[in-house]
Amino acid sequence: METFVIIFWLVCAVLSAFIAYRKKRRVETWFFLGLFFGIFALVAVILVRSRPDLTWRCPICGAMNQEMAFFCYSCNTKRTDIPL
Ligand SMILES: [Zn+2]
C-alpha cells in the first residue's frame, strides 16, 4: 500500500512536469509541486494556460530571435512588428 502511494505521488510529479514542459512552464517547479501536492498540482497544471510563444521569426532570413531583440541576430534586420 505504501509503495503504491509513493508511486502515485511520483507519477503525479512526473506528469505535472511533463504537462508543464508542454505548456512551456517551469519544469522543475511543477515537478516539485507535483511531488508535494500530488493530484492537486496535476489538476493545477492542467488548468494553467500555456505561456505564449514570445520569440519572433525574421522575415528576411527566417531565424528565430529572442523576445526583446530589436534586430535579427543573424542578418541584423530591424524588427517591424514590435509588440506593445
Ligand atoms: Zn534575419
Report how far ligand 1's centroid is from the alpha carbon of 24 (Å).
24
**Looking at the predicted structure, is the pLDDT value of residue 77 above 70?**
yes
Same domain, 7 and 43: yes
Cα–Cα distance, 42 to 23 (Å, whole number): 13
Q: What is the mean pLDDT of the chain?
A: 89
| pTM of the predicted model over 0.75 | no
Same domain, 41 and 57: no
Report how far ligand 1's centroid is from the alpha carbon of 22 (Å).
27
Full domain range(s) for residue 82: 53-84
Same domain, 8 and 41: yes
Which segments of the chain are extended strands (E)? 56-57, 64-65
What is the pLDDT at residue 84? 54
Report how far ligand 1's centroid is from the alpha carbon of 65 (Å).
8
φ/ψ region of 63 (left if φ > 0, alpha if ψ in -120 to 50, else beta) reads beta
The three cell numbers of residue 16 are 505535472
